[in-house]
Amino acid sequence: MLKLFKKSKHSWDADTLPRHIAIIMDGNGRWAKSRGLPRSAGHAAGAETFRRVATYCKEIGIEYLTVYAFSTENWKRPPDEVATIMELLGRYLREALEKMERDRVKMRFFGDQTVLPPDLRELIAETEELSRRYDGVQVNICINYGGRDEILRAAGIYAADVAKGRLPVGGQPDEELFSKYMYSSGIPDPDLIIRPSGEMRLSNFLLWQSAYSELYFTDVLWPDFSKRELDNAILAYQGRSRRYGGTV
């Protein structure tokens, strides 16, 4: 029997929800500029949007949410802007730690943490340790993450395992085996990738995992992204035919 979940004026089939949604949280700076505000204000507004969207995903039954918080290329931004982003991430994690027992939301982090501020690394480690106790929705936060960097890292670890005799010399890895060397090991590939802000590219986000993801682009800037916008993306996803290279 068809079940419909209704929010605002939208209805979608609750039986065919994407299991894993990934979002490129883009447009914070342009949102702030259009209002005559500093870029830091845009990042603060974007952080609040992330909280709302993550909560909504949990409410409607999305199993995995992955967000692009800070890329390997974002270090090129002005130091004060980078510092603001790191501060907001730390603030969010401290708040999340206080609420994890109640919300039972698991968190994982994708990306190279070695260059992150020590206090942020400590918060990440504590958050992931607590997350092991819970079942439920999982939020993956990509910080100092790049898709190409992830693939190169995975290839390096694979080669090291061959050199150490853990894998046969000359063996050809299949996709399932190689996927175990990615940050996202054990997590299904995203069904739906959403990019707000009008840009129509992946920008080095989940390049390995997005091979058969459905892509959804919207002109709405990330701080203005709402539950209704997520509903629109889900409706678009449910209207597509996923053939994975085959025929209908």
Task: Kindly list the domain boundaries of the chain, sorted by start residue.
Answer: 16-146+189-237
pTM: 0.91
Residue spans of the chain under pLDDT 70 = 1-10, 244-248
**Distance separating alpha carbons of residues 150 and 204, to the nearest angstrom:** 10
Mind listing the pLDDT tens digit for each residue in 84-125?
999 999 999 998 888 877 777 899 999 999 999 999 999 999
Residues 73 and 103 sit within 8 Å (Cβ to Cβ): no
Q: Is 26 a catalytic residue?
A: yes
Task: Write down the catalytic residue from 15, 26, 174, 204.
Answer: 26
Task: Write down the catalytic residue from 13, 15, 28, 74.
Answer: 74
16-146+189-237 adopts what CATH topology? Undecaprenyl pyrophosphate synthetase (3.40.1180)
Q: Half-sphere exposure of 233 toward its Cβ, with a 13 Å CA cutoff?
A: 27
pLDDT at 8: 44
In the numeric block, the tokens 């909504």 are attached to 56
pLDDT at 129: 92
What is the signed CA dihedral for 108, 113, 117, 119, rounded to 10 degrees?
40
Please provide the size of the chain in residues: 248
Structural tokens at position 116 = 């992150």
Q: Is 74 a catalytic residue?
A: yes
What integer best gives the mean pLDDT of the chain? 91
pLDDT at 114: 95
pLDDT at 1: 38
Give the dihedral sign, CA 178/158/147/63: positive
Backbone angles phi, psi at 108, to 5 degrees: -130, 160
3 state SS of 101: helix
Residues 6+ apart with CB under 8 A from 187: 20, 64, 66, 108, 138, 140
**Distance separating alpha carbons of residues 149 and 153, to the nearest angstrom:** 6
* C-alpha closest to that of 89 among 67, 65, 62, 106: 67
